[in-house]
Amino acid sequence: MVDILTHLGAYFLMLRKAFTRPEKMKIFFKRLSVEMELIGVDSVALVSILSLFMGAVILIQSAYNFENPLIPSYAEGVATRDSMLLEFSPTIISLILVGKVGSSIASELGTMRVTEQIDALQIMGVNPVNHLILPKILAGVFIIPFLILLSMFLGILGGFLATLVTESVSTHKYIYGIQYGFEPYYIVYALTKACVFAFILTSISSYQGFTTKGGALEVGKSSTKAVVFSTIVIILFNLILTKLLLK
């Protein structure tokens, strides 16, 4: 328990140091654009493939389960849309990004720590937390919601493509289904979750990497810890946000 509180305290102290005015705005924006590319642009392919297949699979599974004649034939479209918007895009994609982006952040910072690059920054008079971590957190919070939007679109597109290759759902009914009873609030809900999850995954991974002690072995351990702790906290916040936002 003391250990958890110590880490929690150190994590919030790190955040306090991160959210200070950058030394030079020009360097900060340069780093922010680099991080947006690393976190966002480099994840587009992975998010696209996963979302297309997830949408297709949801549709096929829905069609398999909705064989009851009392269930309307457009229900598969509704199920695919709502599943993608409410849970798969914001939560599952965020969890997948924890594996890709979170481990990369932790290992990058961990390597910088064990090779004394962070000490070198500190000796120069640079605030290393602000210089290295703030751009990662802000880039994540800004760019991950766009990835989630892309995922929603491609998931629904994946469902549509699945209707072309399976005969269980007609394309016409699917298109009707994805428009039926659409709640724009679901987008706000998903993007709110995306922002919170992006903050959690970038900040926890940064903390794990930044506090690495030792050598190469510890860098690997930090990377694993970053994925494990970010996943647990995201799942916990998923429950809290769902309860708070869907009344």
Residues that bind other proteins (CB under 8 A): 23-24, 27, 111-112, 115-117, 119-120, 122-127
Closer Cβ to other proteins, 125 or 181, answer by number:
125
Report in angstroms how near the CB of residue 202 gets to other proteins at its nearest: 18
Within 8 A by CB and 6+ apart from 80, the residues are 55, 58, 59, 62, 155, 156, 159, 174, 177, 178
Shortest distance, position 74 Cβ to other proteins, whole Å: 51
Tokens 């030792």 label which residue?
214
Q: Please state the closest distance from residue 108 (CB atom) to other proteins, in A.
A: 9
178 vs 166: CA distance, rounded Å = 17
Q: Is 52 helix (H, G, I), strand (E, B) or coil?
A: helix
C-alpha to C-alpha distances, 175 to 76, 77, 159, 163, 207, nearest whole angstrom: 10, 7, 10, 10, 44
Among candidate residues 134, 88, 108, 86, the one with its CA nearest the CA of residue 42: 108
- Which one, 122 or 192, has the nearer CB to other proteins? 122
d(Cα 168, Cα 63) in Å, to the nearest integer? 6
Smaller CB separation from other proteins, 73 or 117: 117
In terms of CB distance, is 65 or 115 closer to other proteins? 115
| In the complex, minimum distance from the CB of residue 125 to other proteins, in angstroms, rounded to a whole number | 4
CB nearer to other proteins: give 126 or 195: 126
